[in-house]
Amino acid sequence: MSQQTLDSVWHHGRAYRKGYTTGSCATAAARVAALMVLRQHLIRQVSIVTPSGVTLCLNVEQPHIAGQQAVAAIRKDGGDDVDATHGMLIFARVTLNDSGEIALRGGDGVGTVTRQGVGLPVGSAAINRTPRQTIEAAVREVIGPGRGAEVEIFAPEGQERAKKTYNARLGIEGGISIIGTTGIVTPMSEESWKRSLAIELEMKRAAGLDRIILVPGNHGERFVREQLQLDGDMVVTMSNFVGYMIEEAVRLGFQHIVLIGHPGKLVKVAAGIFHTHSHIADGRMETLVAHLALMGAPRALLLAVSECTTTEAALEVIDAGGWQAVYTRLAQRICLRVGEMLRYTRQPPRCDAVLFSFDSQLLGSNRPLADIVGALRC
């Protein structure tokens, strides 16, 4: 990888190196395999532009061409956020045809979705939406509008590596997931990462902002931009550090804080959990069940929710039963919990909460959404 393509996160004089996702690896491998088929010669380096706009120049390993088919691999580099997939090879096999369509599938070592709730159809390869889009776009750019191609993503070490992940708990069997919404891995060394987030808050306060939107990650940023039509300058990622970022916002004098995110993260805040990483605490299903029970939901629905392994699966059960009002209740509870957290603050900021689904549909808010958006635009 070109050393100029990625910056670092700095803390106490030390640079924490960023990396790139399995999705970026698969995209680069597919792109270079398509290029090799068309040019009929081996290529040792390939460039892609990630969804976040960062250009990666990556070394190609094990390139091979056989007629209208080519194979190439990219080695995953998680930077200083070393995870189960760090250092493994992600392969793409591209076979040209005359169908005019691009067919993407997962091969050896790429997991298969076996349960609902992860945002992909049961039986499909565990290649998330953004990587699917970037892989198909990269191949289409190379082969042009008229040709077709079959693209297979595979990872020979995937089945073994997946044992060190949460995939089995999520209903993904047989391998790793091809993931990444930005294409870039930011190191999650807590102190350095928290400080870098706080610096962004400081910059926005220095620019004169007194209202701030805190989101867990990229899905929240997209919802704010596309569904609420609000200025992205108001948005700061809080990752799992909800309590820390609220405290920093209070320290800096923000007068209005809005938490916007998927219930998978924010439902924990309704339970008073202000560090939302799964290694700290969970309680998602218990919190959902408790609030549904207080609303009078039937025992069968409570049991069904309690047996879900993902929040998305639980939302499907709740929606099918017609208990969507629980989302407004949860948003109100989130604000209550934040208020309790800040009860000794002399002039606490106003807090609002907005919950949305993976397909960017509003689920609930503590007060009318139009009022929240209007206050942010003032």
Task: Give pLDDT, residue 181.
Answer: 82
List the 235-237 sheet strands across, edge first.
235-237, 211-215, 256-261, 350-356, 362-365
Task: Give pLDDT, residue 20.
Answer: 93
Please write the tens of the pLDDT for every residue from 201-253.
888 898 899 999 999 988 898 899 999 999 888 999 999 999 999 999 999 99
Task: Give pLDDT, residue 22.
Answer: 96
Residue 10 neighbours by CB under 8 Å, 6+ apart: 16, 192, 196
List the 69-75 sheet strands across, edge first.
61-66, 69-75, 89-97, 148-154, 102-106
Task: Give pLDDT, residue 4.
Answer: 38
The answer, yes or no, to whether residue 5 has pLDDT greater than 60, is: no
Q: How far is CA 53 from CA 24, 48, 163, 181, 209, in A?
A: 12, 9, 32, 12, 26
The answer, yes or no, to whether residue 188 has pLDDT greater than 70, is: no
Rounded-to-integer distance, Cα 86 and Cα 89, Å:
9
What are the domain boundaries of the chain?
8-185, 190-377
Mean pLDDT of the 294-302 span: 97
Please write the tens of the pLDDT for every residue from 36-72.
999 999 999 999 999 988 899 999 999 999 999 999 9
CA angle, 126 as apex, 265 and 238 as ends, to 5°? Answer: 25
Highest mean pLDDT among 109-123, 166-180, 185-199, 241-255: 241-255
Task: Give pLDDT, residue 2.
Answer: 41
Residue 1's pLDDT band (boundaries 50, 70, 90)?
very low
The answer, yes or no, to whether residue 200 has pLDDT greater than 70, is: yes
What does the chain come to in residues?
378
Cβ contact 334:270 at 8 Å: yes
Residue 279's pLDDT band (boundaries 50, 70, 90)?
confident
Task: Give pLDDT, residue 180.
Answer: 85
Residue 3's pLDDT band (boundaries 50, 70, 90)?
very low
In terms of Cβ atoms closer than 10 Å to its own Cβ (0-12, 13-18, 19+), residue 227 is middle
Q: What is the mean pLDDT of the chain?
A: 91
Please write the tens of the pLDDT for every residue from 312-331.
899 999 999 999 999 999 99
Instruction: Assign a CATH topology to domain 8-185.
Output: CbiD-like (3.30.2110)
